[in-house]
Amino acid sequence: MLAEMTGIRLKEDNSIAPAPFYASVVDTALLAEKFAVIDDPVQYTRFEQLAICSLHDALSRSDVDPADPGTLFILSTTKGSIDLLEKEKENKFGQDRIHLWNAARLIQRFFTFRNEPLVISNACISGVQAILTGARLISAGLSDNVVINGTDIVSEFVLAGFNSFQSLSNGPCRPFDKSRDGLSLGEGSGTVVLSKTPFNSNRAGNIVVGEGFSSNDANHISGPSRTGEGLFIAINRLLKKSPVEVDYISAHGTGTPYNDEMESIAITRAGLQSVPVNSFKGYWGHTLGAAGIIETVMCLYSMHTGVLFGTKGYNEPGITHPINITGHSMKKDIKNCLKIASGFGGCNVALLLHKI
Amino acid sequence: MEQLIQKLKEEIIEALNLSEMKPADIDEKAPLFVDGLGLDSIDALELTVLLEKKYGLKINTAEEGKKILHSVNSMAEFITANKKS
Amino acid sequence: MKKSCIISHYCQIRDHAVIGDDETLYERCGADLSDFFTGIYQHFDISYPKFYKMDNLCKLGFLSVELLLMDRNIQQRYAGHEVGIILMNASSSLDNDRHHQQTILDRSAYFPSPAVFVYTLPNIVIGEICIRHKFTGEGTFFVRERFDPLFLFNYVNQLFYQDVVQCCIAGWVETLGDYYDSTVYLIEKTGKPDAGITIFEPDTIKHIFAKEK
């Protein structure tokens, strides 16, 4: 990322698409190799391997005990092991493996989480909504620690769907750019661990999850609001309750003409048009239910290091409301970061991260 | 042409789940996407799929799509002009 | 200690019947799921042609909330952003996922439909309800193996406590194949004393969910 390289490639894989497509895909052999250190990859679906890899890594570096009665595991995903649906009845993992609750149960058992896991499936805002939910459960005293994993895979199911929506780009996606023509799908997994008390051993301990709101456009189930209504309401409610100076906005920035335009309108309506904004989608595509988690992890990185990443694929502004899009990486001290996301179903979310 | 228009209307009602409508309720000359049937962007994409599925015809650009999907008549004209016989 | 909220109304669609606040509002045995849903739509004279475009999960959620809110003047009593919708089920959108999968099984007849694909996310039902009632508040879709009254109580309760919502629709909306089951309830801070009001707490939710016609 520091070298401003993208992981989005032209893929020719007849097993998941009849024509070549641009996407950011995790190398299967590399995943199996990494997973083999943890367990036998043959026993797990691609989705499960990704989720377990990420969780294994995060938990090994955290003091949180999954067996603690105060620890909750939340899985954020849109489609889980959806690749099993093609052969739903005769796949080698069994019929029930496709259920999201079952995927979460399997991961729960793997890491011996004591409590029944929770799945959040809220389209493309799932990840940010999951962090918001986790933070609320902690502040209400219902959990002490919340381990949140967001995972989704690139599948024929999702590729064919977005293709029918004519929303896939003809090259690596170009968020906010004048020549943007759609999104690039990606796959991946990310984990964040929220805790009531900061851990001394963990440098992430100096970031606090602040206010957050979700809001619905109440306008259309697939098209974003032309006025940025829902996203504006979410940001506005957040800033009213927590009137801080926002130093940086991590946008959803999918690269579709409508989404990016809508975000520029909502950001401007909220009076944040001069705040630096970037989108991570140009690096590894749109990872759906994982996006909000992976992108928040990157926000944490930026807050720790003071490196504000550029928007890969962005060259020339292509939105009607001029917002401050970061083209290339730069140094910036970030105290307050605003993470936003929007998705199908008219859902929007805004979440504040503070450095203390 | 008359037959094609009638057939198209039936196909549109089925593809877009316009369950409370009959072919006679659709005016073949009227714009499909302004008020009238209350169609939206998903319906437009669905009509694109319909043309491909039932008539083997592809719409190449959004501008072209706007013209072709303007009304039942314009769809019928597009089919007649491009039909492989 | 903050004052408890109340469950002002509930609606249940299961076993060929619609129950609203302990009363059987509609019953139709023998109909398949699609005819049953259409029957409800027609019986209550709902005029919303988009209903026919919805997948079964959305139809079930839409109808449940439609009957829950009928004549309650929610839109007049609350601003759009004050109303939250928190739903849960077990099968996510698997019912419609199968439908979408059918359109891509055969490469020689490969016609994925955008109108089907858009419903391959469970939270679309929240979107449909928001569009219908102009709600712009908090919305989350949870998936768990079984209905979890305690979690839903705790989560919704803290949304009230933190002033995120002033009114909330919550519950269970599940459909898979021929199976359907929904229980949705309306939670408010206060209500008319004459209505069949119950205190919003895990036991009352459990009690409502366990009801049989």
- Residue among C85, C118, C137 minimizing CB distance to A344: C118
Cβ-Cβ contacts under 8 Å, C155 against chain A: 133, 136-137
* H or E element, residue C175: strand C167-176
Distance CA A283, CA C19 (A): 51
Rounded distance, CA A64 to CA A71, Å? 8
Domain CATH code at residue C162: 3.40.47.10
Residues lower than pLDDT 50 in chain A: none
Residue A203 pLDDT = 64
pLDDT digits (tens, 9 = 90+) for C152-170: 999 999 999 999 999 999 9
Residues from chain C that touch A236, judged by Cβ atoms under 8 A, are none
Q: Is the pLDDT of residue C25 over 60?
A: yes
Q: State which residue of chain B sits closest to C52, comparing Cα positions.
A: B17
DSSP conformation letters of C131-166: HHHT--S-EEEEE-SS--HHHHHHHHHHHHHTTS-S
Could you tell me if residue C1 is inside a domain?
Answer: no
Contacts of residue A223 in chain B, CB cutoff 8 Å? 40-41
DSSP A31: H
Q: Are A341 and A260 in contact (CB under 8 A)?
A: no
Question: What is the overall mean pLDDT for chain B?
Answer: 91
Residues in chain C: 213
Q: What is the pLDDT of residues A284-316, one digit of tens each?
A: 999 999 999 999 999 999 999 999 999 999 999
Sequence-ordered list of residues with C-beta below 8 angstroms from that of A225, at least 6 positions apart, any chain: A217, A219, A231, A262, A346
Q: For the segment C166-192, what is each residue's pLDDT rounded down to a tens digit?
A: 999 999 999 999 999 999 999 999 876
Q: Do A222 and B42 touch (CB under 8 A)?
A: yes
Looking at residue A204, its pLDDT comes to 64
**CATH 3.40.47.10 occupies which residues in chain A?**
9-195, 206-355
Residue C170 burial (CB count, 10 A): 26
Residues of B in contact with C49 (CB under 8 A): 18-20, 38
Q: What is the pLDDT of residue A201?
A: 62
pLDDT greater than 90 at residue C213: no
Nearest to C49 among B38, B46, B49 (CB): B38
Residue C11, in any domain of the structure: yes
Domain that holds residue C52: 6-209
Residue of A nearest to B40 (CA): A220
Backbone angles phi, psi at A126, to 5 degrees: -45, -50
Compute the nearest-CA separation of B42 from chain A (Å). 8
DSSP letters for A235-279: HHHHHHHS-----EEE----S-HHHHHHHHHHHHHTT-TTSEEE-
- Which of C49, C50, C115 is nearest residue B46 as measured by Cβ atoms? C115
Q: Which two tokens stand for residue A204?
A: 């992430």
> Which 3 state secondary structure label does DSSP give A206?
helix
- Region B2-82: CATH code: 1.10.1200.10
Over residues B58-79, the pLDDT tens digits come to 998 888 999 999 999 999 999 9
What is the fold, at CATH topology level, of the domain defined by A9-195?
A: Peroxisomal Thiolase; Chain A, domain 1 (3.40.47)
Q: Which chains touch C (3 or more CB pairs under 8 A)?
A: A, B
Domain A206-355, classified CATH 1.10.10.10, yes or no: no
Domain ranges of chain B: 2-82
- Chain A residue closest in CA terms to B43: A165
A-interface mutation test, from B17, B45, B49, most A Cβ less than 10 A away = B45
Contact state of B40 with A166 under an 8 Å Cβ cutoff: no
Bridge-based pairing of strands A188-195 and C198-199 is unpaired
CB within 8 Å: C53 and B53: no
Nearest CB to A216: which of C92, C121, C135?
C135
Residue type at position A52: I
Helix residue spans in A70-216 (DSSP H): 100-111, 126-139, 156-164
Q: Which residues of A are catalytic?
A: 124, 252, 286
Q: Inter-chain contact B17–C115, Cβ cutoff 8 Å?
A: yes
**C105, C117, C134, C179, best to mutate vs chain A, most A CBs in 10 Å:** C117
B41 touches chain A (CB under 8 A): yes
Confidence of residue B83 (pLDDT cuts 50, 70, 90): confident
CB contact under 8 A, C123 and A121: yes
| H or E element in which residue C59 lies | helix C56-69
Q: Does residue C184 fall inside a structural domain?
A: yes
Residue C3 is predicted with a pLDDT of 73
Nearest to A294, CA basis, from A172, A154, A187, A191? A191
Interface membership of B34 toward A (CB under 8 Å): no
CB contact under 8 A, B40 and A164: no
ipTM of the complex: 0.97
> What is the tally of structural domains in chain C?
1
Across the interface, which of B41, B48, B49 has its CB nearest the CB of A222? B41
Instruction: Find the angle CA(A301)-CA(A231)-CA(A249) to the nearest 5 degrees.
Output: 25
pLDDT band at residue C19, thresholds of 50, 70 and 90? very high
Angle between helices A46-60 and A28-36 (to 10 degrees): 50
Contacts of C135 (CB under 8 A, 6+ apart): A216, A218, C80, C83, C85, C129
Query: What's residue C1's pLDDT?
Result: 43
